[in-house]
Amino acid sequence: MKDIVFFGGGNIAQALIAGLTSNGVEKKKIFFIDRNTLNQKKLHRLGIKSLKKSRIDIDLFILSVKPKDALEAYKEILNSYRKPKIISLVAGIKSSTYTKLNKDIEFMRAMPNTAAKYSQGITALYNSSFKKNSLKKAHSLFSKLGTVIEVDSDSKIDTFTGVIGSGPAYFFQTLKSFEKKLMKLCNQDEKIVREIIANLMKGVGSSIENDGDLDNLIKAVASKKGTTEAGLKSLKSNKLNQIFEKGLSAAIKRSKEISNEF
C-alpha cells in the first residue's frame, strides 16, 4: 500500500487512523498535516508522523478539516503536491466545489463515523472522479473500518452525514437518561455504569444483527401489561420517534445548508 496523508488530524482522522492501524495498515504508511499542537501530540503518541515539508510525491490525501478550512486546505494540496488523489471527509461541501478548481484531479467524498476506531464504522462513499482501480482501493481501505456503502449523489452523502456521521452522538445523548438512572442504582459507580450501558448497546447490536426485524425484537421484550409496554406507551405518547425524526431532518438540513455556504 502507498502512503496516506491525513490533512487535518482531529477527531475523525484519529478514529480512522486507530481503526486502520488495528486492521493491518502499518503506522509508517500513515502521515498527517495539522497545525493544532494538541492533535499533533495525540498522533505522535499513536506513533504517526507528521509529513515532512520536502515530500511532494503523495498518492492519497484524506481531507479531514472542518468545512470552514476545507477549501484553503484543498488548494494547499493542489499547489504543493504532485497530482495526488483526494478523499474529502468534510461535511456539506459538494464535490463540484472542489473539482471545478482542478478538473484533472481524482476526487471523491467519504462520510465515515467515529465507530471506525473500533472497526464498527459505517462509511458512505460518493465517487466523483476516482478511476475504477482507485475507487476499488478506496473501498477496500474503508472496508477495514466496518460497513461501506457507495451512493450515487452528493445529496445522499449529506443525508448520510446527518444520520450516520452524526449518528453516534444521538445515541450518546439518549443514553444519558440511562446513565442518570443507573448512577443512582449503582451507588455512583461510573465504571460499572459504563459497562452496563456498553453491554446494553452491544446486546442491541447483536440482536439486530442476528434476529433482524425491529418490531419482532420489540415484541420479544414487551409482554402484555408489563414494564416495557408501560415504558413504550409513555415514549410513544410523548412522540419519541417524531422527535427523533425531526432531529435527523434538522441534521440533514444543516448538512445541505453548509454546502450552500461555500
Ligand X SMILES: NC(=O)c1ccc[n+]([C@@H]2O[C@H](COP(=O)([O-])OP(=O)(O)OC[C@H]3O[C@@H](n4cnc5c(N)ncnc54)[C@H](OP(=O)(O)O)[C@@H]3O)[C@@H](O)[C@H]2O)c1
**Binding residues vs ligand X (CB under 6 A):** 8-13, 33-36, 39, 64-67, 69, 72-73, 89-91, 111-114, 165
Nearest to 116 by CA among 175, 165, 187: 165
User: Closer to ligand X at the Cβ: 72 or 189?
Assistant: 72
Q: Which residue is nearest to ligand X (CB)?
A: 10
User: Closer to ligand X at the Cβ: 12 or 163?
Assistant: 12
User: Closer to ligand X at the Cβ: 81 or 182?
Assistant: 81
CB of 161 vs ligand X, minimal distance in Å: 7
CB of 7 vs ligand X, minimal distance in Å: 7
CB of 210 vs ligand X, minimal distance in Å: 27
Give Cα 82 distance to the centre of its chain. 28
Helix (H) or strand (E) holding 126: strand 121-127
Q: Distance between CA atoms of 201 and 118, rounded to whole angstroms? A: 14
- CA angle 240–241–243, rounded 5-degree value: 65
Q: Distance between CA atoms of 127 and 154, rounded to whole angstroms? A: 9
CB of 112 vs ligand X, minimal distance in Å: 5
Query: Biggest alpha carbon distance in the chain?
Result: 70
CB of 233 vs ligand X, minimal distance in Å: 34
User: Closer to ligand X at the Cβ: 64 or 95?
Assistant: 64
User: Closer to ligand X at the Cβ: 60 or 65?
Assistant: 65
Pairing between strand 146-150 and 4-7?
unpaired
